[in-house]
Chain A
Amino acid sequence: MLKVSDLTEVYSGGFLQRGSVMAVDGANFAVQEGETVSLVGESGSGKTTMAHIILHLLPPTSGKVVFEGRDIWAFKTKKELKGYWYKVHGIFQDPYAAFNPIYKADRILYQVFNLMDRGVRNRRRLVREALEAVKLRPEEVLGRYSHQLSGGQRQRMMVARCYLLKPQLIVADEPVSMVDASGRAGILKLFLELRDLYGTAVVFITHDLGLAYYMSHRILVMHKGRIVEEGAPEKILGDPEHPYTRKLIADIPLIGRKWEDI
């Protein structure tokens, strides 16, 4: 369904193009329908850059992103782009920065009707249904401004936006890292429900291998812009091959087993 080939992104900065950074270095991977794939990497690994390229927010320096057989960076019309975003959508990390503070929070839900046919009736009903699907009470959040809502509520509204669209692929960039550990489970369950109900594929981007392990069919480990290892969660955790992956696993705090080298 989605295929990323030889993707490279180079940021060049500085006055005379000195000091360029290779954020993504020849990445290759594919996502099948209904699959949940996790991109695991630390900050600076290039995972957010990858997300932006796939979401058509940042053009790649070279390489291709092909969705349903079409190169998304070859789109010419607004219509094609809107069509893409209707099927492939994003959820971001920061529940604070995701809302424009001067408008009401539900704007992020009503906005997506712009991607659908003009004649969509019952917008309010659809919005209410989406809110209920993410276990938010419409009375509690409709008409409110973002600063009046908690971080967890805001992230749920982002997921509600996806419920409205029912896209084929969601690219979620660290969707729970700014939510308290105890609130994460609730939001992760919403992703799983989306998958079960509508067959939505998810590219789940995170630095937390634990989340990746819990959520995904396949894990891709990113380091310095490259995908260094790929495999099923059990394999990656049980039998990691790449030294970077090994170190990552050794350094994660676990509940069942204590570190010996500390």
Chain B
Amino acid sequence: MNALLAAEDVKAYYSSSKGLVRAVDGVSVDINPGDVLGVAGESGCGKSTLSNVLMMNIRPPLRFLGGKVLLDGKQDLAVMGREKVKTQVWGRVITLVPQSALNALVPTRKVGAFIKDVLRYHLKLNSREAWALAQKRFQELGLPVEALTKYPHQLSGGMRQRVVISVVTLLNPKLLIVDEPTSALDVSTQKQVLKMFLQLRAKHIVRAIVFIAHDIAILRQIATRITIMYAGKVVEVGPIERVFQGSLHPYAYSLIHSVVTPEAEVKERGLSHIAGEPPDLLHPPEGCRFHPRCPHSLPICSREEPPLIGLGEDRFVACHLVLGRH
């Protein structure tokens, strides 16, 4: 069975006055139906850029420099042309909830009016049908139907976020991409929003989710697979439990052990801390991008970039140390 969306060796750079910032530099990702793929990494590792690349939302100063983005194994979005992607793919097949989306609602329109417009335009429904569909969708997702009659500022932050999510998934897109959807929300609201994502998948409103976050604990709760990125590259991929219990790449290991949760085990083992700063993507280091900060770096690490190798059972790692062992 083909992956729902498969990115093969995609490269996207930002052109700046100082040169090319290699934000996404040869990344391959695949998303299968039923997946909740978590994408984790420090800020600046390229995960937000990746979300734009997966949708082919490329605008200057971002430039797409190579690779394929295959939909259902057949269509390559990278060669489709922006207009076609905008009208045929966005909203209908792939949709994105970007960061700070809770401010994305037009403040002068009532929520329900806005949703009705979207439905009438895309699904060619009349006013009554659109309203009925909007109500039905809200009920399905556990949102209070009264919210449809309110203005955005009358709703709480969490409610607005959930409304935005329901709007972008109105047309039942196959893939939902979300970028840090809960970082501005408090803990209880966050849980409600995460619950909503899983509901969307359970009710087959969306088939798969790509969830970008820097808080690994959230991913632990809702993701099925996880991809860890560093400095524009993928360093480890795998099913969530396996990666958490036994991560192979030194960076992935440090990342997972640097999260602070109120658990006795965490307090006991202490927090890991990676010294140094992520590299400047204008001039990334030679060889493995993590080698200057890696406690286990070998001589080869500063010369050759480790390729992302499959170890079977959906496990992938890009590390010379690991490759040597296997």
Complex A–B touching at CB under 8 A: yes
- Distance in Å from the Cβ of B192 to the closest Cβ of chain A? 9
CB of A180 within 8 A of chain B? yes
- The distance in angstroms between the C-alpha atoms of A151 and B29, with both chains bound, is 29
Given A150-B277, A262-B191, do A252 and B261 touch, yes or no (CB 8 Å)?
Answer: yes
- Find residues 165-194 in chain B having any chain A CB closer than 8 Å to their own CB: 186-188, 190-191, 194
Surface stretch bound by A, among B7-15, B137-145, B210-218: B210-218
| Docked-complex contact B275 and A208, CB < 8 angstroms | no
| Docked-complex contact A214 and B43, CB < 8 angstroms | no
Interface range on chain B: under 10, 10 to 19, 20 to 34, or 35 or more?
35 or more
Instruction: List, in ascending order, chain A residues with CB within 8 A of B217's CB.
Output: 210, 252-255
- The distance in angstroms between the C-alpha atoms of A43 and B190, with both chains bound, is 13
Given A182-B258, A211-B260, A259-B191, do A253 and B271 touch, yes or no (CB 8 Å)?
Answer: no
| Docked-complex contact A207 and B187, CB < 8 angstroms | yes
CB of A104 within 8 A of chain B? no
Surface stretch bound by A, among B62-70, B115-123, B262-270, B310-318: B262-270
Instruction: List, in ascending order, chain A residues with CB within 8 A of B254's CB.
Output: 182
- Distance in Å from the Cβ of B162 to the closest Cβ of chain A? 15
- The distance in angstroms between the C-alpha atoms of A234 and B190, with both chains bound, is 24
- The distance in angstroms between the C-alpha atoms of A146 and B215, with both chains bound, is 26
CB of A83 within 8 A of chain B? no
- Find residues 147-197 in chain A having any chain B CB closer than 8 Å to their own CB: 150-153, 180-186, 188-189
Interface range on chain A: under 10, 10 to 19, 20 to 34, or 35 or more?
35 or more
Instruction: List, in ascending order, chain B residues with CB within 8 A of A125's CB.
Output: none
- The distance in angstroms between the C-alpha atoms of A184 and B187, with both chains bound, is 18
| Docked-complex contact A262 and B187, CB < 8 angstroms | no
Given A208-B260, A237-B262, A248-B188, do A181 and B215 touch, yes or no (CB 8 Å)?
Answer: yes
- The distance in angstroms between the C-alpha atoms of A210 and B198, with both chains bound, is 24
Instruction: List, in ascending order, chain A residues with CB within 8 A of B273's CB.
Output: 185-186, 189
- Distance in Å from the Cβ of B236 to the closest Cβ of chain A? 14
- The distance in angstroms between the C-alpha atoms of A42 and B188, with both chains bound, is 10
> Of B186, B256, B263, B274, which is within 8 A of A42 by CB?
B186
Given A210-B260, A213-B262, A255-B263, do A248 and B214 touch, yes or no (CB 8 Å)?
Answer: no
> Of B222, B259, B260, which is within 8 A of A262 by CB?
B222
- The distance in angstroms between the C-alpha atoms of A185 and B42, with both chains bound, is 13
CB of B92 within 8 A of chain A? no
| Docked-complex contact A184 and B260, CB < 8 angstroms | yes
CB of B37 within 8 A of chain A? no
15 A-B pairs besides A252-B262, A253-B218 with CB distance below 8 A are A181-B260, A182-B42, A182-B258, A186-B273, A186-B275, A212-B262, A213-B262, A233-B262, A234-B264, A252-B187, A253-B261, A254-B221, A255-B266, A256-B266, A262-B222
A interface residues, Cβ below 8 angstroms from B: 42-43, 135, 150-153, 180-186, 188-189, 207-214, 233-234, 237, 247-249, 251-259, 262
